[in-house]
Structure 1
């Protein structure tokens, strides 16, 4: 009897230990990561950032259940360069990709770079990309060669097709003229599954990407996963499915509302599968609004200028992060953070090693999760981020509070308004003639140059700018950076 009792106690103890181990394993499972990346969405295009004329209930909910970041920037305001910065944690200049790669490009992301997907793969994650890639459309540059198990989407922007406004205008005067762009292909993996994407296909894209994303989450609910969802919208030309087309105040609002619906489908799926408390969801944009497209473009709100410039309207984007139980709900952070910070932050969260080569992002886990929000510093602060746009020229330097703008030429609409028919108007060329300084805490719209009032800040930022030029170069000053790595090229 004593032996039976001892055995029962022993087996009871083992069962308890096993149950405890299973529970502990569940508790320490690495978090799932979802990054939703919108194309050309301006700072003021969604409800949590003061949008006018559009309702975004799912993003409103995401902000209510998470944290919005009011000073979240990209290091450049154009497609390919911004995307390579996000996925590698590097200033785009370091990895050799500038501007927006087109169908004729023979370059792409280098095989020597480490992407966010590869960081996650190193810890056993399932990985997928559904949407716009834009880091090279040839096989060596495709997502499946850079850490993604699954890929479905367009290889570059959805306006790089024979129906670009410039092509349509040219054919009106010369019907025999060949278009600037070839047919737009849709990829699945490394194969073209639709060689000629049509307007009807574009109407279904946001829905298609979302449905595939939901299927991926469901299929991988029992293991850690990384989902990258870079929507083609709200880049022109604007398209929406029949559930949203014509239901808002114009095509742009329709597209925003469908993107919001997409976010809602992702959150609903995570909730239904009981994954929300173990999933970080990040929502942000690649750059500000393409203002020359008038009512088919978004809004930068109080910020200056838009896409294609180094002013805040080009580089400061809406950002919301949700992770129930980890990120305090209904909160706002005004600390400087950038897309380049996501890779090292995610690596830290999942216990992965950083790339062996240099990156520019920082682990911002504390900024994401802290309850004691930091006030802006009086001085330079903890870091600077160089802002490039045209041809490798350092145009601006961001710090926690201050922004130094260097002499350069930029595009602007001036006081003009764009059209309402989906065709762009020509930009004017404006110039910054001398170095300018802005206090972004008191002057978010960059209206007041205070360089003369803060010579000590100017000197400190000038010195830091020279360090960045030595590292990454500056074409205007004909300096080559010692830290620039070669871009991927077709052999």
Structure 2
């Protein structure tokens, strides 16, 4: 884990950029659910074998200070799609079937930006930005959708045993009733969760081959490893304490199939692939959850384990191989960066919080994070800010200050030692939060039937 200390992105003097490319690149985002910072071999997992992700890192760049914008599903995904902190676009909580809100179709998503540049766009996997037709992927810039519209533990069947150990051993997904959808139609209910990862992968591979002659954007948000965990028979192990390991290793196998498809289709060198997760591990699920070590805590929190994610990016000949970037960046930067690389413009009629981080990805000598500060929201509350090595966290009248360069695990609260830093960062938080709240936009809403 020594690479965690990497202060910047280094890659020698290689000069790459959007101007030098012939044609538009393809984009693939592989987005897992509740995967911990440590749950990749090259990020330090002591037991999970991720040969394909490790190879991806060896052929690309590992980002060790890469953040989601929230520690729970829906807000995190809203940020990825729009380039905005979740409260900016009105998605501040996990969405359930009872909710009549979703990502506002008036928002400009990554898919909208790329579709405007002639890209084929597909979402394959978990959406979780509104299950009503008005909010599904095909209403938000995607040509097609195949997946489940929310978390796989939702739509629980009354009076059914939902023990995670029992469900794993018996391969029993029937206590949960989420639908599998194609575009806006339900094609299977309950979704057969034991084959979801396998079917998502086949759908993604098919999309790659069908669109190899034009630029494409593939968004592959896996349902797993959100509980309940399930894998195909090939990856099944009886030991429930190895269920999480098996689940991640099937996802890794999926990653390998995606790269094989890109190579077979002849577009490997024309494709930028990003791998990351929506938030940290659901630690209360014990052996059905992952690990964010050496980070503190996990899902639902604004400690590092809740929002700092494993991230790997690969684009042969453009992103230098085998490098590590320690600069601060995150999912909110995907939209403006993809816009730049595709020749599009970032929407000018609204505030976008993300920044173009291509200089970091390209390994430009001396490149630094474009973020003067990075903000950690929990719901509508701004709980923390990071500025360089310093992180201020305030919740329930508790003030915490950490030096993340010296204390990545957030063990030593230095608030009493540096009141001047606390005051300065508190002012940064207040100023940013005031601006965001003054320039926020509403979620989409469908009026409930009387």
Does TM-score exceed 0.5, indicating one fold?
A: yes
Partner residue, 1:359 = 352
| 2:64 corresponds to 1:76 | no
Partner residue, 1:388 = 377
Partner residue, 1:417 = none
Partner residue, 1:234 = 225
Partner residue, 2:8 = none
Alignment of 1:295-306 (within 5 A): 295-306=287-298
1:37 to 31, 41, 53: 31
Cα distance in 2 for residues equivalent to 1:372 and 1:48 = 24
Q: CA deviation at 1:385?
A: 2.1
Cα distance in 2 for residues equivalent to 1:167 and 1:489 = 34
Cα distance in 1 for residues equivalent to 2:157 and 2:309 = 28
Partner residue, 1:253 = 245
Cα deviation code 1:318-351 (max 9, x no counterpart)? 0000001111100100000110001101101111
2:50 to 41, 56, 75: 56
Q: CA deviation at 1:182?
A: 7.8
Alignment of 1:143-292 (within 5 A): 143-162=137-156, 168=162, 183-197=177-191, 201-246=192-237, 250-292=242-284
Partner residue, 2:331 = 339
Partner residue, 1:323 = 315
1:403 to 383, 391, 411: 391
| 2:433 corresponds to 1:469 | yes
Cα distance in 2 for residues equivalent to 1:315 and 1:265 = 28
Q: How many residues align?
A: 416
Partner residue, 1:89 = 83
Q: CA deviation at 1:272?
A: 1.8
**1:323/1:389 Cα in 2 relative to 1: closer, same or farther (>3 Å)?**
same
Q: CA deviation at 1:439?
A: 1.0
2:424 to 439, 446, 460: 460
Cα deviation code 1:218-246 (max 9, x no counterpart)? 00000000000000000000000011011
The answer to whether the 8 Å contact 1:328/1:371 transfers is no
Q: Secondary structure at the match of 2:438?
A: coil
Partner residue, 1:311 = 303
Cα distance in 2 for residues equivalent to 1:164 and 1:271 = 46
Q: CA deviation at 1:454?
A: 3.0
Flag structure 2 segments of 5+ consecutive residues without an equivalent: 1-18, 164-174
Q: CA deviation at 1:462?
A: 1.6
| 2:441 corresponds to 1:482 | no
The answer to whether the 8 Å contact 1:43/1:288 transfers is yes
TM-score using structure 1 length: 0.81
Cα deviation code 1:67-88 (max 9, x no counterpart)? 0000001121000000000000
Q: CA deviation at 1:399?
A: 2.1
Q: Secondary structure at the match of 1:470?
A: helix
Cα distance in 2 for residues equivalent to 1:44 and 1:324 = 25
Larger RCO, structure (CA 8 Å, separation 6 or more): 2
Q: Secondary structure at the match of 2:427?
A: helix
The answer to whether the 8 Å contact 1:75/1:385 transfers is no
The answer to whether the 8 Å contact 1:287/1:315 transfers is yes
Alignment of 1:94-173 (within 5 A): 94-162=88-156, 168=162
Q: Secondary structure at the match of 2:383?
A: strand
The answer to whether the 8 Å contact 1:127/1:150 transfers is yes
TM-score using structure 2 length: 0.89
Cα distance in 2 for residues equivalent to 1:382 and 1:55 = 33
**1:215/1:291 Cα in 2 relative to 1: closer, same or farther (>3 Å)?**
same
Flag structure 1 segments of 5+ consecutive residues without an equivalent: 1-24, 170-180, 409-432, 473-480
| 2:337 corresponds to 1:349 | no
Q: CA deviation at 1:281?
A: 0.1
**1:366/1:27 Cα in 2 relative to 1: closer, same or farther (>3 Å)?**
closer
Instruction: Say what the alpha-carbon RMSD is for the aligned residues.
Output: 2.1
Q: CA deviation at 1:374?
A: 5.6
Q: Secondary structure at the match of 2:62?
A: strand
Q: CA deviation at 1:251?
A: 1.0
4+ long deviations beyond 4 Å: 163-169, 373-376
Cα distance in 2 for residues equivalent to 1:273 and 1:311 = 41
**1:187/1:359 Cα in 2 relative to 1: closer, same or farther (>3 Å)?**
same
Q: Secondary structure at the match of 1:360?
A: coil
**1:50/1:247 Cα in 2 relative to 1: closer, same or farther (>3 Å)?**
farther
The answer to whether the 8 Å contact 2:329/2:371 transfers is no
Cα deviation code 1:254-296 (max 9, x no counterpart)? 1000000010001111122221111100000000000000000
Cα distance in 2 for residues equivalent to 1:77 and 1:46 = 19
Cα distance in 1 for residues equivalent to 2:326 and 2:115 = 32
Cα distance in 1 for residues equivalent to 2:368 and 2:28 = 29
